[in-house]
Structure 1
Amino acid sequence: MIRRQILVCSVAALLLAGCSDHDLPYYQSHLDEAKAKQEECEASMKSAFMSQDEDKLKSVVEDKECIAADKANREYRYAQAELAAKKRQEEAAKKEAEAQRQYDEEYAKAKESLSAASTEEFFKSGEDCTPKMWGKPSAACKAYNELEEGKLNTALSALITQFPKDKLKAQSEDRCSGINFDKTACDLLRKAVTKQQKDQVAFYLENRESLRTDFNDCVNRIKSLNKDQKYNDANEFARSYQCSMAQRAAQELKVFGFNKTI
């Protein structure tokens, strides 16, 4: 019952606010007095509540100066909170801008350095640049990712030229296991082997006469070696770069095995 009366009185008091000598505009410009008045009103309200003096409690709740002082203080606290929030936002934006400036600077330096790096140095630097589930990559990894495709294509083409045909696969096997193992070199060589074989099959399919010549050469030489009972040599030749690529291309044309020429 007391709470309901307090609520009704509070609404009525708010409607009447501003008629006192010390009204809202006064307390808005005299915040020290507003604070003191609010403390005084709160103490009076507490005293009335503890003594269960409903008349006194109603009087404090309806007091226009108490209402004005309370509102002035609340408005001030809200304004101060807004200012503090704005300041935090400005500081956060400033920190973010500085962080981005440093990131861009590091990225530019990394890109310049990686552009001039050797193939081995470049790809070793990217071993830690694994894709992230969230967030942006480091400045160095961003530079690496942007340069990787061009560097990779150049490196693979160079390896295919340096180690033609069977030599590329042999080099890959040498660097991918044993005493000469090197992870970076192995990865590049395996990719080079894949590209070399894919490109050779594509060449055969676009140049059917070259495929016919190489495939039939494999058929005839394998038959000749088998006829001379040189079975190991025949099997080894069938696994050679020329024959394995010709056979793979021929399979795309529904030709299987070296049983007959095409």
Structure 2
Amino acid sequence: MSKTRIVFVHGMDGYGVAAWPAQHLLAGNYDCLFLKRTGFDAVEPPVATDFEADARIVIDALGEGGHIVAHAQGAIAAVMAAVERPELVKSLILVEPALLSLTAELPATAAYREYVEPLFARSAELSDMAFSAEFRRVTASMAGPGRAGYSPGAAGVVRPVPAESSARIAARIHLQAPQWEAPLHIVPGVPTLVLTGGWEPLYEEIAEYLTTTGAVHRVAPGGHRPHDNPQGAEMISAFVAAQEDALHA
């Protein structure tokens, strides 16, 4: 009997297996695929965000169907894939999801965009290193005292892949599209868990919005990466197991 598939979609802080250090053990019970989105590669040059291509990567990885676990910006591709092919998605687990398109009119999202958008407006004038440094500065300053390194929205510059140069990482950050430009819609009828770290109003606002569409919201320690925390990791594995039990009941 083949194992149930779980597709993992990373954010900005690493990609592939390296982005999911606490989820490796799930491979003992599930067919786990740890994806690389467009522009995330240790050899090929970084390229600009392509939301549609990322969604296609997720759909192709699902094969005949499975669960999706996505972090931060990776949640955009996950939701787009689930909207396009809901019959393939057994459940959707969104960790600190950067789904700003869905909450554009809400206060925390509007404030974030107002604060960060001027940087994207000046993007063409800045070098990769200058843009990256300014991006880190403005997002860290929004995070508040003691939270530097966990940046809202595209945050994810917390744990870059160690083998990559600072120039490559800066080029990738510079090429990322603002999350509020993603063409998102509500996912119809897919069991959804939203996991947040309880530290940043932007993500809590997005999570609470998703609960109005039927999602379950849970909070675990760990800042922008609550899935690295044992409590958060257990919430993910328990949700997947519960959906599997429900499907086979």
Indicate the structure with greater strand content: 2
User: What TM-score, normalized to structure 1?
Assistant: 0.19
Larger fraction in helix: 1
Q: Which has the larger radius of gyration?
A: 1
What is the TM-score with the length of structure 2 in the denominator? 0.19
